[in-house]
Chain A
Amino acid sequence: MRVLVCVKRVPAPGAKINIAADGQSVDTAYLAFTTSPHEECAVEEAVQLIERHGGEATVLTLGPGEAEDQVRYAASLGIAKGVLLPTDGTDWDPQRTAAAIASAVSAIEAVDGPFDIILFGNESADSGGFQVGVRVARALGRPIVNGIKGIDVGDGTLSAQRESEAGLEVYVLPMPVVLGVKEGINLPRYPTLKGRLASKKAPVDQVSPVAEPGGQHLVTLLPATEQVSATTILGHGPDAAAAVVDVLVELGVLK
């Protein structure tokens, strides 16, 4: 089985996000970077698919040169190869990103054969455009379903589960297929020391992405209006219990 997982480098989502002076990006001076959360799970899923069914997984990212860190991190977990489509670090709009990825995937497949499964995260944590995976799937002429929280591979088809408000939806898809996965599909592992060492030697191809800008153009980033609320301190330690329960009564949650 051949699996491709597409990831994005984003500021660690636990961090406080400050906007850079030019308003075009976030101030990265004090930030740690990571793989976007849904995609961390996509990487784990790719590794598990290979463990269960054999074959090889590749990780691909489009982003600044530093995104090689995220490619090598995936390699440390068991992804065999990496592809980096380096940008100049500016914000690429979703149409342009998808066109560049689709063309890179076609080029890889022309040499090495088709991927049976291509995994994306449902949406990136930072820009959240909710469309790159769908655009790539359409460009490649393959089916795609988003929001996937479970994958069972059968013979030429796979069953994918998606959580909705009503319950768990089941899709049965032919391969080759593209899936947008959500966090919760698995619990990502941590790299082993052996994995870390191996990742330094993992082959990472750099291919300059070529795609025209799309119709969405970032003007500036703004902080969201902060919810300002004066915090009432009800007390310190267990002695505050009576004051807490008074509040529960006042709010009508204790009947």
Chain B
Amino acid sequence: MSVLVVVEHDRGTLAPATLEALAAARSLGEPVHAITIGAAADGLVAELAAHGASVVVQAHHDLLSDYGPEAWGDTVAQLVTQLSPTAVIATGTDRGNEVMAHVAAIADLPMVANCLSFTPGAPWQITRVRWGGSLLEQCELQAPIALLTTSHHAIEAAESPVEVTIQAFEPVLDAALARTVVVDRVERAAGVTLATAPVVVGGGRGVGSPDGFGQLEELAALLGGVVGCSRAVTNNGWRNHTDQVGQTGTRIAPDLYFACGISGAIQHWVGAMASKNILAINTDPEANMVTKADYAVIGDLHQVIPAISAEIRRRRGI
């Protein structure tokens, strides 16, 4: 018996969520096999073994030179047929969920996405996230092989070194699957992004207009941070969607999140809840965002934010 982990990587760089999937796999108490897809990932053996993979299967094929959801799905599905593991576990990320969906469709097996915890059996008992994490679902899974993805940050990665064996695997892939392999990539410009910024100054409907964000931009610049916004703001066309914090936008995890004029609807909250500290500025002391925040200022953001910027400048002597 064994458990198979699908290793997520980008051109050979390991996605940290993979280590969480490995920890989840180890908890089942069976030997953990990990499949790396494409020669670019051959260098990951030591790191995978350090996290408990006793067999690393290296899948090689010309079509596996870069990410391709169909080719990756076919590759994993073929190994699953050969290995017949108890469970297959992937990362609950865009790529992990996508590849597992292909495996599930090919094998005609159920797939449970974004699991928090599970107990094997007939049926398996599983807790998974819904609504981007604001609601939980307990479900039963009846399947000969359990296909699961793990909700990111739900299961803690931990080292658990084992002796490792490397196995080569060459899937049979239809040349037509080249149709969904990445053909080009425009690399992101270096710099602070919404997802990685140490400070995010977020504005909601209360900012009132596109121009109203000027004050937020100024405060963000003083703190080396970036501006974010709520879905109400992008739906109004005030800011680009790339600035949206939320379930359908970016999930942020800054040291400090200023939530200005944001009511704190679930859609927004699930994108902001990983912030280490939240400071809300709102006229309504009962707003969700205020009651969930660590710190709050009750007042009009258009008066409060310039006052904060002025105070920062005063202390810096600029």
Contacts and interface: CB of A to CB of B under 8 A. Distances in A.
B10 interface: yes
A17 B131 contact: yes
Contacts of A125: 131-132, 247-248, 267
Nearest to B256: A253
Contacts of B105: 98, 131, 134-135, 137-139
A169 B67 CA distance: 10
B293 interface: yes
B294 A232 contact: yes
Interface string A153-176: 000000000001111111111100
B106 interface: yes
What does DSSP make chain B's interface, helix, strand, loop or mixed? mixed
Contact of B279 (A127, A172, A247): A247
A184 interface: yes
A222 B136 contact: yes
A184 B102 contact: no
B123 interface: yes
Contacts of B310: 241
Interface in A192-231: 214-224, 227, 229, 231
B79 interface: no
Contact of A37 (B142, B248, B290): B248
Interface in B265-318: 265-267, 273, 277, 279-280, 285, 290-300, 303-304, 306-308, 310-312, 315
B229 interface: no
A130 B296 contact: no
A232 B295 contact: yes
Contact of A164 (B94, B97, B133, B180): B94
A166 B187 contact: yes
Q: Report the interface size class on chain A.
A: 35 or more
A75 to B, nearest CB: 21
Nearest to B73: A134
Q: Report the interface size class on chain B.
A: 35 or more
Interface of B: 10-11, 67, 69-70, 94-95, 97-98, 100-102, 104-106, 108-114, 123, 127, 129-143, 149, 179-188, 195, 198-199, 223, 231-232, 234-235, 237, 241-242, 244, 247-249, 255-256, 265-267, 273, 277, 279-280, 285, 290-300, 303-304, 306-308, 310-312, 315
Interface of A: 13-17, 19, 26, 37-38, 93-95, 98, 122-123, 125-131, 133-135, 137-139, 143-147, 164-174, 182-184, 187-188, 214-224, 227, 229, 231-242, 244-245, 247-248, 251-254
28 contacts: A14-B266, A17-B131, A17-B134, A95-B104, A128-B113, A130-B97, A131-B97, A131-B100, A143-B179, A146-B69, A170-B182, A170-B184, A172-B179, A173-B180, A184-B242, A216-B139, A218-B138, A218-B139, A219-B140, A233-B296, A234-B295, A235-B297, A236-B299, A237-B300, A238-B303, A240-B297, A242-B311, A254-B223
Closest 9 CB pairs of A and B: A184-B241, A215-B110, A238-B307, A134-B101, A138-B105, A130-B97, A14-B265, A241-B307, A131-B101
Given A224-B135, A233-B285, 4 more contacts: A143-B70, A169-B182, A241-B308, A248-B312
